Structure 1
Amino acid sequence: MKHIFLDIDGTFLNPKNNEVPQSTLDAINQAIENGHCVYLCTGRPTSSMKRFFQYSLSGFVCAGGSYIKIGDSVLFEKTLSKDEIKHVQNVCDQNHCGYVLEGKEYNYNSKLGAIQFMEAMKSNSFGTTWDEVANELGMKWLDEFEDDEIFKVSFYSTEVDVIERMRKELGSKFNLAYTVKGPNEMIEVEIFSAGCNKADAIKRVVEHHNQSLDDAIGIGDSMNDYEMIQECNPGIAMGNACQEVKDIADYITKDVDQDGIEHAFKEFNLI
């Protein structure tokens, strides 16, 4: 039995049309029938997972490894403390970066964060207006945040130097993940608790089943998939993956809109 972990955006979900390819769903169903376990393993917090929790899968890894659900049971959960949230907010404000607090129930955007988020997501098809995007991803405004639990924080910048300075200012309690785009393009940066990445979550899942990373297959496309691709056996990059992920992958499959998941499943005899 193999444990197969699929990133969502750009891997399971085609960002060009905001739909899951039928070939992907068929491949997953066949793999499960063949006795394998298939999980969605995403940077999205639970607040942005409403449509995905409806799929009949073996489990879900959310918020970059900060939340793990196997069947009906929560295996692991780690949220940011109030002091950690305040520290991240202060660093973002000092560096003039908008941000979103990504929570269990909703995501909470600063005003600048909403503007920069729409710029960063302009190539995706979540919607063309803020209301459409907010409905799809469970967005609210920062002043509506009260007692929701926060898994991670995302912020935005066009300057890699700013991002790296913020990495130092945030300190060792946090991990940052981002992919460098073209000049002056808005970069989304994800801030996780140290010790919470997708590879750590996958280790927790396979150990729960008394198995090892040799029994885990990871498929993804972006930098929050980096550790997962590096640790799984094999680690598979989508054809549309960023170059950093392709460079460390054991195998590169086709693009998400070219039946990439089905192709990878066939290549490794999962179906």
Structure 2
Amino acid sequence: MSKIAFFDIDGTLYGFDGKEHKIPESTQLALKKFRENGNLAFICTGRPMRFIYQIFGENMFDGYISANGTHIVYKGECIFNKTIDINTLKELIKSFDELGIRSSFAGPYNGYSYKMKSEEIEHYNSQFNETDYLITIWKIEDVSANTIDIFYKDKIQLDECKSYFQNGLIFNPHGPHMSADVSFKDFDKSDGIKYVVKALNIPIEDTIAFGDGHNDITMLKTVNTGIAMGNAVEELKNIASYVTENIFDDGLYKAMVAYEFIDK
């Protein structure tokens, strides 16, 4: 029976090697071999579709679960799209104001900045080619967003935010950048995976996932074989079926070989 694998992006498929952001060659080879063996490969990320297509193109994967499970594309067609409703947006904005948090409400191809600093907007937009990703002037009724990024001044403020939203949101910090992507506890990457396997009629026994962050925990718990990168957070390593090497130590390729998903 063919397998289906779900891959996080940052720190799993794509990362900074000290000189540049890149996809390791061994990772590209592993994906190619995996698909040539008749298996399906899906990205499963907090990133928006525009970023995904820019980095990976449209032919490296069979499908894409973006925005932490809320936007799904298969064979070039959007098959699922869960946006944040206007009442939730209003509640989030009110709470962010109380906490002093700046944010971006992220859609597949454009985002909406809220009280972000000019340098934050510039850095955010620098990740995208051609036109700016962020819309800076908008009306709340025009927002079409699936997920959120937040910006904070220090770890204390992030911890306050985590405590405030402990029953509703999961925060995945981006290292020293004082930002984090946010997923909803009632719908995250794992729900996106469940939607895909049901739509494609694939048994959960034939599912695999690779990740490294806090927002990958439910993803690895959902699949049959959950693989944590060597550079993963400890919470993810603790629940993984297998912990492989770091992203730039051919971790993804080595795990594929270890499970005989591909030949060495």
- Same fold, TM-score > 0.5, yes or no: yes
The one-letter code matched in structure 2 to 1:4 is A
Structure 1 distance, partners of 2:259, 2:221, is: 17
Are 2:200 and 1:209 aligned? yes
Structure 1 residues 130 and 222: alpha-carbon distance in aligned structure 2, compared to 1, 3 A threshold? closer
Give how far 1:179 is off. 4.5
2:127 matched to which residue of 1?
A: 133
Aligned to 1:155, what secondary structure does the other structure show? strand
Give the alignment of 1:38-187 within 5 angstroms: 38-51=41-54, 52-112=56-116, 115=119, 132-133=126-127, 135=129, 139-144=133-138, 147-157=142-152, 162-163=157-158, 165-167=160-162, 169-170=164-165, 174-179=168-173, 185=176, 187=178
Are 2:251 and 1:260 aligned? yes
The one-letter code matched in structure 1 to 2:127 is V
Structure 1 distance, partners of 2:229, 2:85, is: 35
Give how far 1:192 is off. 2.9
Structure 1 residues 70 and 226: alpha-carbon distance in aligned structure 2, compared to 1, 3 A threshold? same
The one-letter code matched in structure 2 to 1:48 is F
Structure 2: where are the runs of 5+ without partners? Answer: none
1:121 matched to which residue of 2?
A: none
- Shifted more, 150-159 versus 132-141: the winner is 132-141
1:189 matched to which residue of 2?
A: 180
| Residues 49-105 of structure 1 deviation map (CA, whole Å, 9 limit, x = unaligned) | 231342331100000000111213322210001221121122112211111111122
2:32 matched to which residue of 1?
A: 29
Structure 1 residues 12 and 97: alpha-carbon distance in aligned structure 2, compared to 1, 3 A threshold? same
1:222 matched to which residue of 2?
A: 213
TM-score by length of 2: 0.85
The one-letter code matched in structure 1 to 2:73 is K
Structure 1 residues 79 and 193: alpha-carbon distance in aligned structure 2, compared to 1, 3 A threshold? farther
Are 2:191 and 1:200 aligned? yes
The one-letter code matched in structure 2 to 1:72 is G
1:2 matched to which residue of 2?
A: 3
Report the number of matched residues. Answer: 257
Tell whether the 8 Å contact from 1:97 to 1:113 is kept in structure 2 after alignment. Answer: no
- Shifted more, 14-23 versus 259-268: the winner is 14-23
The one-letter code matched in structure 2 to 1:42 is T
Structure 1 distance, partners of 2:222, 2:4, is: 13
Structure 1 residues 269 and 176: alpha-carbon distance in aligned structure 2, compared to 1, 3 A threshold? same
Give the alignment of 1:236-255 within 5 angstroms: 236-255=227-246
The one-letter code matched in structure 1 to 2:171 is A
Give how far 1:137 is off. 9.9
1:234 matched to which residue of 2?
A: 225
Give how far 1:21 is off. 1.3
Give how far 1:259 is off. 1.2
Structure 1: where are the runs of 5+ without partners? Answer: 119-128
- Shifted more, 160-169 versus 46-55: the winner is 160-169
Structure 1 distance, partners of 2:35, 2:49, is: 23
Aligned to 1:75, what secondary structure does the other structure show? strand
| Residues 239-266 of structure 1 deviation map (CA, whole Å, 9 limit, x = unaligned) | 1111111111111111111111111111
Identity of aligned residues (%): 26
Give how far 1:161 is off. 5.6
Aligned to 1:176, what secondary structure does the other structure show? strand
- Cα root mean square deviation, aligned: 2.7
Aligned to 2:219, what secondary structure does the other structure show? helix
Structure 1 residues 226 and 187: alpha-carbon distance in aligned structure 2, compared to 1, 3 A threshold? farther
Aligned to 2:191, what secondary structure does the other structure show? helix
